[in-house]
Amino acid sequence: MKKVAIYVRVSTQDQAEEGYSIEEQIDKLTKYCDIKDWYVYEIYKDPGFTGSTIDRPGMKKLVNDSKQHKFDTVLVYKLDRLSRSQKDTLYLIEDVFAKYNVDFVSLSENFDTSTAFGKAMIGILSVFAQLEREQITERMQMGKVGRARSGKAMGWTRPPFGYEYTEGKYIVDDFKAIVINKIYKEYLSGISITKLRDKLNDEGHLGKDIPWSYRAIRSILDNPVYAGYMNFKGEVYKGNHDAIITKELFDKTKTELDIRQKQAYAQNNNPRPFQGKYILSGLARCGYCGAPLELMLGNIRKDGTRLKKYKCTNRIVKSRVTFYNDNKKCTSGFYHMNDLEDYVINEVSKLQKNPETIFERTEIKNENHTEIYEHRIVVIDKKIKRLSDLYMNDLINLEDMQFKAKALKDEKDHLLNKLNHSEHKLENVKKDKAILFLKDIENNINDETYENKKKIINVLIKKVDVKANEIKVIWNF
């Protein structure tokens, strides 16, 4: 005999518009249990509560008792009694009831998760729940844009240095405002950001609990918020907060930043000194956590040279979360730039001497592609069968079934075509181009200029994973 938990809910609006009360729901559900010979364990009630949220006392008790396996079935009069949110309904059915082996039955819709029909309905429900989530996200995004256009502060983000967030508005912190003015004026006086950073730190961090960084100062110089504007998604709007500096001072600073950028390009042939300047810039990755490697420059020696080493950017845990290693500190070491560059150049040199080995290097990749395509075809076949089952059970109309089935069949045909010939031909074209590129290089890479070596390596190599005892080159073919 099934042990059933009956859940009933009604809001004042529901009762007025739809004409069924808590008592009417209980009467119909208990009679249904009598017919089915089910034992009613308890009746959980939420009178006068909206269905737009699951934060209700009766619902909380129902969820808690489900987790303690006090019953094996939850019964409601109508699906929207559980929740009016598709997302919340799916959460309760999948993440609470199903997780703890509790069946769910809705009397009016004949919805029963213990049947095949009920399980299929969960899949359909998940589609609408996803649609609801996307609509909520879209509405939130529109709200943020509207807030920015009206000049309001972004309350969901940390206020910029120099401001406090109070009652929906940025309020100037008078002491930090002095530091902001100092940063702008000293930068325009000709001091570099690096020297300005050192000066602020020598004076006791000035307004911060932690040392100033180059990035922190640069972000202040770039931020129009200090001139009374808001920047959101690349668009600048007039803010409703007090400015710390004048618009004229901000514009002069922006012009000065551009001038110095151009000067750096003229001197180093690079708009950002030490970024993208070296052979492995943008290519070197930590083999332990996957984060990019960055170059460290030692002190200038008597002969004018500097020791250059690469280190993982994740060696220091940052205040912001990174995409690498869950923001945990990486314990990798330091790698001499010359050693890494020599290894990579030597690998390219070996490829130059025998370009045909490209085919050997990519043989395994082709096998992996084949396995991926074959697995996807199996998944597509299952999806087509599921569509057919949904149609047979009147859960989807013929037009929708044919439309979705055609899209799946087209994808399957495309994959089969790749498996037969096209993919291998495409791979061969990429390999042939790489071979021609290698043969077109007049000199061995070891005899090329540093700049030419960098260009050749950027064409041939996707990335370089570096560990203490292993360097792995990932090619572009």
CA angle, residues 362, 367, 372, in degrees to nearest 5? 125
| Residue ranges with strand state E in 292-355 | 293-297, 308-312, 334-336
List Cα–Cα distances, 439 to 432, 444, 445, 459, in angstroms.
Answer: 11, 10, 11, 14
CA distance 187 to 452: 36
Give the β-pairing of 293-297 and 284-286. Answer: unpaired
CA distance 56 to 225: 42
Residues making up the chain, counted from first to last: 477
Cα Rg for the chain, rounded, in angstroms?
32
CA distance 217 to 234: 20
**Cβ atoms 41, 61 nearer than 8 A:** no
Q: List b or e across 57-89, with b for residues whose CB sees 16 or more CB atoms inside 10 angstroms.
A: ebbebbbebbeeeebbbbbbbbbbbbbebbbbb
CA distance 111 to 92: 14
CA angle, residues 70, 74, 78, in degrees to nearest 5? 160
DSSP string for residues in 408-463: HHHHHHHHHHIIIIIHHHHHHHHHHHHHHHHHH--S-GGGS-HHHHHHHHHHHEEE
CA nearest neighbour of 220 among 169, 184, 273, 260: 184
Residues known to be catalytic:
11
CA distance 89 to 111: 13
> Tokens in use for 423?
């993919």
CA angle, residues 209, 210, 214, in degrees to nearest 5? 135
**Cβ atoms 10, 20 nearer than 8 A:** yes
Q: How far apart, in Å, do the first and last CA atoms of the chain sit?
A: 64
CB count in 10 Å sphere of residue 253: 21
CA nearest neighbour of 48 among 108, 92, 8: 8
